[in-house]
Amino acid sequence: MKKSINLFTILLCMIIASRMVSAQTSERLTGEWINANPKTRGVTSVVVANDSFGWNVEAWGKCHPTDCQWGRTKLTLMGDSVEDDSFERGFAIWNAGFADKYVEFSVKGDVLRVEVVTIFKDRSRRSSFRTVEYFRRSDPRTQ
């Protein structure tokens, strides 16, 4: 019994510590981001947050006359390897009905790189495709 309590305590401490590390190191992803290309036909803006529901991301895509809201979805933090705990990358999936969008976020310096893989599932015969776009913070004073 005492061994299981000690093991539980160690596991609990590891979970708390990993959440503290991910919260501290991934804060560079957090915030409002605007596409650096004002003429984009893809993602126009994203908001990355860590709130009471955990890490999440909300995105908007180019539509007319106003941008289309993709909605909010879970953001899974990632490193570049099993040992990498920098968590300067994130991965999210949106189901748009007619297509699934698999999105990787990575931050380097003050630039957010967003890679979107769109896989159509509506029998439209459109080719699935990939885009890569770059974002800047919406308020440069918060950098």
Which CATH number fits the domain that encloses residue 64?
Answer: 2.40.128.30
Higher pLDDT, 61 or 143: 61
Give all strands (DSSP E) within 5-141, no chain letters. 31-35, 43-51, 54-61, 68-74, 76-78, 89-95, 99-108, 111-120, 129-137
Query: What's the pLDDT tens digit per position in 40-82?
Result: 999 999 999 999 989 999 999 999 899 999 999 999 999 888 8
Domain total in the chain: 1
Task: Kindly state the average pLDDT of the residues 88-97.
Answer: 93
Decide: 117 and 94 in contact? Cβ < 8 Å. no
pLDDT confidence of residue 21: 44
pLDDT confidence of residue 4: 53
Decide: 91 and 75 in contact? Cβ < 8 Å. yes
Residue 97 domain boundaries: 2-142
pLDDT confidence of residue 15: 58
